[in-house]
Every structure is written in C-alpha cells, then in structure tokens.
Structure 1
C-alpha cells in the first residue's frame, strides 16, 4: 500500500498546494491572493474587489488554515467587523477545507 506523505509544518510545498487550489475559486478571480505562514497557521489574504470590507480595495484577510495535530486541519474565516477569526470546519485533508474556500457560495470567505 502506498501512503501519501503528510506535511505538518511550514513549507513551500503546502503554500503552493493552497495557491493551486485557490486558482479554481469562484469569487475574486481576477486578483492574486497571498498565502503566508503567520502565528502557526497559513493565512490567505487578497485585495478586496467588492469593496464591502475595504472601500479602497486594500488587502483583507480571507481564510486561515491550522494543522494542530496529525490528521486534523482547521479552517477559519475572518469576521472583519469583530476583528477575529471564526472556526468554520475541520477535516483530515487540507483539500477538503480549501474546497469550502474555493466554492464559497455564501460569501463567508470572499465578502
């Protein structure tokens, strides 16, 4: 049986995987999101195309991914009004959580 390698810490491979998944997003398609390691998690930011959060179209926080233990990823959305991260879901694979960010039919991540 072949087992897929698990990446549990910061690294370019995880960042690239996140960026690759974000290419299929349905909202904010014409801007380039940023993915960076910050405070023990991957943080996704993007220019605010809708100007709902930032009237000047500045960069806003979109989502945060944490990998606190093996086989657990956590996804958070930014509550811009309250200035805090709100837990949205947990999964064993980061791709499952990124699918929520990419589809975002309810504009939880891409306001």
Structure 2
C-alpha cells in the first residue's frame, strides 16, 4: 500500500487553545474551593483568549440588587496565565498578576485575602 500525502493548508486559521471546555471545567471545579461567597454559584464564561468568572453579588457591595458581577478575567498569553480583577468603579479590567500554571492562579483567586476579586 502506498503512502498518501496529507496536504495542510498553511493559510487556514489555527484554532486558538483558549477558551476550551477542559480548562473551563477545571476552573469551575477549582472555584468550589473558594473562601468567599460560598453560598452563590459562580459561572465560568468563555471569552476570547480565556475565561471570565462571574457570580451573583451576595455582599451587595458592587451591585445593591445582588445581580451578576464580574469577579475575574483569566487569559492565557505567551505561555503564562494572566489574572485580571474588575475595577467596578471604572468598568475596566485591571491586570493583577501572571502565573506559569493555572493551578497557582486558581489558588490565589480562591483565597483572595485582600478581597480584590470576590467583593
């Protein structure tokens, strides 16, 4: 049997590695170990290049009506995981830190000792 040549279209767009379902579920599982807002269920929403964590605001600090608020933005760029916090007053994302491993980022997000994310 002869070999078949497989032609790869070099101009075809490559599928971005993030967001993907595996990492989205990994983030969801990890958030079950958080130390703040234990009585609400956060959501992990796929966004370009990563994931947005959102949750009902049970403290009423950000949304007096207890609506859904942004908690964190997680993006993967150039081999690092980048964590952003929401500046709710300005309505923008502020860079917080980067991590070589997603698990390390999630550990910081779950503890959030300074209440920068889970407000």
**TM-score of the two chains, using structure 1 as the length reference:** 0.89
In 1, the alpha carbon distance for the partners of 2:23 and 2:49 equals: 13
Where in structure 2 are the equivalents of 1:1-111 lying within 5 Å?
A: 8-70=17-79, 72-111=80-119
Runs of 4+ in 1 over 6 A off after TM superposition: none
Q: Any conservation in 1 of the 2:19–2:48 contact (CA below 8 Å)?
A: no
Helix, strand or coil at the partner of 1:45: strand
Residues in 2 aligned to 1:15 and 1:41: alpha-carbon distance in whole angstroms: 9
SS at match of 1:19: helix
Cα distance in 1 for residues equivalent to 2:48 and 2:19: 11
Q: Does the 8 Å contact 2:51/2:75 carry over to 1?
A: yes
| Counterpart-to-counterpart distance in 1, 2:19 and 2:62 | 29
Q: Which of 1 and 2 has greater Rg? A: 2
Question: Is contact 2:71–2:86 with CA below 8 Å preserved after alignment?
Answer: yes
Q: Which runs of 5+ in 2 are unaligned?
A: 1-16
> Shift in Å at residue 11 of structure 1?
1.3
Give the aligned length: 104
Gaps of 5+ in 1: 1-7
